[in-house]
Amino acid sequence: MTVRIAPSILSADFAALGQAVAAAERGGADLIHIDVMDGHFVPNLTMGPPVVRSLSRIARVPLDVHLMIEEPDRYLEEFVRAGAAMISVHAEVLPHLHRTLQAIKELGAKAGVALNPSTPVGALEEIAGDVDHVLVMSVNPGFGGRTFIPRTESKIQAVRALLDRQGSSAPIEVDGGIDATNAARVVQAGATILVAGNSIFGTGDPERATRELRAAATRKAGV
Ligand code: DX5
Ligand code: ZN
C-alpha cells in the first residue's frame, strides 16, 4: 500500500504560493491540496479557479481540489479547465450527488465525495461504486490548524469496509489535524492519502515536514 502526502496550501503564505508548492514537492509531496471555501458552506473564504490555474503552471504533481462550497456544480468545469486533477465535493450540499460525480468524471478529473465529521458513513451506501476517492474530514471544515477528532479512526475503518463490501478500491483521503503523531494511526485505519496543512506549512521548513510526515505515516504503520 502506498501512502500519498497531500500538503494543503491553506496554511502557506498566500504571497508565496509558488515557493510553498516547490518546497513541498522537494519534500516528496504526491499531490497539492487546494481548499476552496465560499463563506456559506463554511465560515471562511479562500481561493478560486485563478489560483488553481496559476499553480497548475508551476506544480509538478497533480492538484487535489477540495470544494467546500454550496453549489459546486456551477464551478466544476472552471476548476477542471484551471488544472484540477482531483475534485472532492461535499455530500452534505448535493441532493444529486450521482450526477455531480458523473459530471466531474466527464470533465476528465477524479471525483471524490467528502464527508463532514457528523455525516454518517451510510451517506456513501448508494454511491460507493461511483467514487474515485472518499475524503473523510477529521476536523470540521473551514479552517486549518484544528485538532484531529479521534473518532475519525473508526470512521475511516467503516468507510473502508463499506467500499470493500461494494467491490470498490477507491482510496480514502483524510483531512484535518494530521501530523506526525496521528499519521500512522489513520494509515492503519485505512487512509492512504494524508492531507496536512498546519503540520507542513505552519513549520519553518515545509520540505522537511513533508518528508517527516511520510516517514511517520509509513514507518510506524509498517508499510
Ligand atoms: C479544512 C481543510 C483542510 C485544512 C487542513 O477545512 O479542508 O484541508 O487545510 O489543515 P490542517 O492540516 O491544518 O488541519
Ligand atoms: Zn481540505
218 and 188 in contact (C-beta within 8 Å)?
no
Q: Which residues of 146-182 are buried (b: 16+ CB within 10 A; e: fewer)?
A: eebbeebbebbbbbbebbeeeebebbbbbbbbbbbeb
Regions of the chain with pLDDT less than 50: none
Residue 109 alpha carbon to ligand 1 centre in Å: 22
Confidence at residue 222, expressed as pLDDT on a 0 to 100 scale: 53
Ligand 1 pocket, 212 CB below 6 A? no
Confidence at residue 223, expressed as pLDDT on a 0 to 100 scale: 53
| pTM (two decimals) | 0.98
76 and 108 in contact (C-beta within 8 Å)?
no
Residue 195 alpha carbon to ligand 2 centre in Å: 7
* Nearest to 36, CA basis, from 45, 28, 27: 45
188 and 216 in contact (C-beta within 8 Å)?
no
Q: How far apart are CA 175 and CA 152, in angstroms?
A: 10
What DSSP element (H or E) covers 5? strand 4-7
φ/ψ (deg, to 5) at 64: -110, 105
209 and 24 in contact (C-beta within 8 Å)?
no
Confidence at residue 48, expressed as pLDDT on a 0 to 100 scale: 98
Ligand 1 pocket, 7 CB below 6 A? no
Q: What is the CA radius of gyration of the chain?
A: 16
Could you list the active site residues?
Answer: 35, 175
The vertex-45 CA angle with 136 and 103, nearest 5°, equals 55
Confidence at residue 219, expressed as pLDDT on a 0 to 100 scale: 78
Ligand 1 pocket, 146 CB below 6 A? yes
